[in-house]
Structures are given as structure tokens and as C-alpha cells.
Amino acid sequence: MALQASLEAHGFRIPEQVKIIGCNNMSISLCSIRPVSTISHRWNDLCVAAVSLMEKIMAGESRPPESKRLISPTDLVLRSTTFLQ
């Protein structure tokens, strides 16, 4: 990743001085100078909840109050940009 290369070119040490964390656990996070730590969303759970809510709405059911806000757990995937191996 350009960010890692730029930081190191300016004398910063990863992860000792600067921690880098990504989002969505994209496959490119494994292909950089150092594999990037990331937050991994549970997309399958989110999709199931969205489809279930859409089915209820399309069936004419009133929108349940809990559908105003969905809190989905995430996972922290630790790789070498946030801890020393």
C-alpha cells in the first residue's frame, strides 16, 4: 500500500510508531508490504436481516420498531500493522 511505503520512506516504523487498520477485510489488505489489520463486518448476517425486513414490508406487515437500528457485531482481524509478530 502506498500509505505504508510513504510512512516508512519518512522514517516511521510500523507498527511501533504508527498503527494502520483497514475496514471491510478486503483481500488487498493481505497484499501490501505488511498485511493490514482490519475490521471485518459480518455481511451475511446484515444481508439476512435486510432481506427479512424487506420481505415483511412487502408482505404488508408494519415495520417493527427494532428495524430502526440494527447493531451488527464486527470482528477485529489482527495483522502485522497493529502488533509486533
The closest alpha carbon to 18, from 1, 43, 30, belongs to 1
Domain boundaries, the chain: 2-77
Residue 58 cell numbers, joined? 412487502
pTM above threshold 0.75? no
Other beta carbons within 10 Å of 61: 10
Please write the tens of the pLDDT for every residue from 28-56: 777 777 899 999 999 998 899 889 888 98
The alpha-helical segments, DSSP class H, found in the chain are: 2-9, 43-58
Task: Give the integer Cα–Cα distance in Å for 67 and 39.
Answer: 24
Please write the tens of the pLDDT for every residue from 56-81: 889 988 766 665 677 888 999 999 99
